A and B are shown apart, each in its own frame.
Chain A
Amino acid sequence: MSSIANDHDVISSLPDTVLCHILSFIPTTEAVATSVLSKRWTHLWRSVPSLNICDVNLDDLEDYCRFNDFVYSVLLARNNTSIKSSIFNIWYDDPHLGRLGFPNVIKWINSIVQRGLERLEMCVGMVEDNLQLPISILSCRTLVVLDVSGFTVKGFSSVRLPSLKILRVQDSIFLNARDLLLLLTGCPILEDLYACNLQSQSEDSLSYQECESLSLSKLIKAQMPHTFCHFPLKALRNVNELCIEINKVYRCFDEIPTFHNLTKSKLHSINYNWNLLVQVLNHCPNLQHIELSQGTDYGGGKRDNDQENWVDPISVPQCISLHLKTCTLWYFRGQQGELQLAKYILNHARVLQTMKICCRDSLKKERELSLCSKVSPTCELIFHVFRFHKEESLSD
C-alpha cells in the first residue's frame, strides 16, 4: 500500500477546521475564491479565522468602490468564528480616496478588535500625509502581536494592551516623547519591542516622574534604531538585547540602570560622548557582543561634543575584561578618539574573538591598529571596507 494511493481519501477527509487553518494564512480574496472549488467549499471561507487585506493599491474610484464593497461583504457574510489574526496593507494613491476610504478602515478595525483579535499587522498609507492609527487598537485586551507602520499615533489618553507580547512600530510620528511612553505603559507583559524611525513632533524632554513611570519588567529585546526622542533607559533594564541611539535618547542626569541580562547590544549615535559610553559599559556587566557607531551613517555626522578626546577609564569595565567576545565599530572615520577606543578594547578585552571595523575608504589606520597589541590571543581584527557600491573584507 503506497502512501500516494491513500492521499486523496485522507486529504478530502480533513476536517473543515484544518482547511480553514490553512486558508487563514492567505489573502482573504483568495480564501473567498475557494468557494468555487466545490459545494463543500462554498461556505468554508466564512469560518476562516483571519481577515487579510493584502497589497491593495487604490488609485481610481471604481476600484475603490469595489474594494470597499468586498470588505463589507466579507465582514457581513462571515459567521461567528472570531477573527484571530488580521493584516491590513492598503495604499491610497490619491489623497481624496484616502480621506474618503480610511473611515471605513477604522470601522473594520473597530469591529474586529472587539472579537478576540490576537495578531494585527497594519500598514495603511496615502500620498501626502500619514493617516492616524485607529485608537480602538490600543484597548484590545486579546492582542498578542501588533505590527504597525507609517501612522501618526495621537488622540489617545490611555492604552490597555494586557496581552501584548510583541510590539513593532515603524516610520511613525508621535506628538511627543510622553505619548510613546504612554503607549508602552499600557503593555505590561511586553517581551519584544521594535521601535524604528519614530519621530516626535515636539523636542520636549520627559519629566523625572514620567521616566520613573515606565517599567517593562518582562521585556527581553528592545530595538529602537533611528528613534531619537528622549527615552528612559531605566525602563529597559531587564533586556537581553538592546539597540538604541544612545546619546540622543539619554538626557543629562537620567539614571543609567545596571543591565544585568544584557549580552548583545548596539549603541548608535554615540556622537563622541566617550564619558557616556564608558558609563553605559560600566552598567553592562555581562555584555558579550557589541556594535558601536558615532552617528547613523557614513555621512558627516554632526558632532554634539566637539571632538572630546578619549580618556582611559579609571578601571576597566567588567564586560570588556571578562566577557566581550565580539566588537564591531560602524561608520569608522579614523578620528583620534575612535582609534583610541579601538586600541583600548584590543588592549583590555581578554576573551575577544573578533574586532570588526567598518569604514568607508581604506584608511592608513589599518596598519596602526593591526600593529597594536591585543591582549586576547585568539582575537581576529577584520576591516570591512565599503567602496561606494563595492564591499571588501580585509582580514588581519
Chain B
Amino acid sequence: MAQEASSSTSSKTISLKTGDGEIFEIEASAAKQMKTVQRLIDDLGDDITIPLHNVFSKELPKIIEYYKKDITGEITKDFEAEFVKDLNDDEVKVLFLAANYLDANKLFEFLSQNIADRLESKSVEYVRKYFGVENDFTPEEESKLREERAWSFRGIKEDE
C-alpha cells in the first residue's frame, strides 16, 4: 500500500499489535515515550500497525494506562501506588520486561524501584525463583560464600 505523507496532528493515534495478535491504539505523544515504538514508527511510518512481538495483550493496556496519565502530567505518588497495588510479583515482572523492551524510561525506572521494594528482605531462594536463576553452586561453595558475607545475611529471611 502506498504510504501517504500524513500531516502529524496532536491527536494522531498509533496502532500497536501485540505478540498474541491484538490491536491497541495509543496517542502519538505517548508513543514518543516508548523509544522502541518510536524507532519502529520512524522506520515503518505512522500509518502502519506497529508489531510488538514481545509484548502481549495482558500487559500492554496497563502500559498504555500509565502513559495516558504521563502525557497529561498527572503521574503522582498516589497514582503510582494505586497502579501497582493489585499486581502480584510476577505481573510486575512481566510489565517490567515489557517496559524494558519498549525502552519506556519512566515506567522502567518506576518498576525497577517497585521490584526492588518487593525483593527487599526476601529469601535467597525467592529471589532465585523470581529472576529464574539456576543455582550452580555446590552446597559447600554456597555456605562458604554465606559465611564470608555474614553481615549481609542478617536481615534476610531464611529459605523455606
Contacts and interface: CB of A to CB of B under 8 A. Distances in A.
Contacts of B134: 38
27 contacts: A1-B20, A3-B59, A7-B93, A7-B97, A7-B132, A11-B93, A12-B132, A21-B112, A25-B113, A25-B117, A26-B120, A29-B152, A30-B155, A32-B149, A33-B124, A33-B149, A33-B152, A35-B145, A35-B149, A36-B142, A36-B145, A36-B149, A37-B128, A37-B131, A38-B137, A40-B133, A69-B151
Given A26-B120, A39-B137, A10 B145 contact: no
A34 B151 CA distance: 13
A178 B86 CA distance: 50
Given A29-B154, A32-B149, A36-B146, A3 B19 contact: yes
Interface in A57-101: 66-67, 69-70
B71 interface: no
A12 B133 contact: yes
Contacts of A14: 97, 100
Interface residues of A, number: 36
Interface string A12-50: 101000110111111101101111111111100000000
Contacts of A6: 54
B59 A67 contact: no
Interface in B44-59: 54, 56, 58-59
B94 interface: yes
Contacts of A302: none
Interface string A119-134: 0000000000000000
A39 B19 CA distance: 33
Interface of B: 19-20, 54, 56, 58-59, 93-94, 97, 100, 112-113, 115-117, 119-121, 124, 127-128, 131-137, 142, 145-146, 149-156
B132 A25 contact: no
B94 A30 contact: no
Contacts of A27: 120, 155
A18 B131 CA distance: 12
B127 A37 contact: yes
Interface string A320-346: 000000000000000000000000000
B141 to A, nearest CB: 9
A12 B149 CA distance: 24
B54 A10 contact: yes
A12 B134 CA distance: 9
A14 B150 CA distance: 28
Given A7-B132, A29-B151, A34 B112 contact: no
Contacts of A8: 132
Contacts of A41: 133
A256 B157 CA distance: 57
Interface string A159-190: 00000000000000000000000000000000
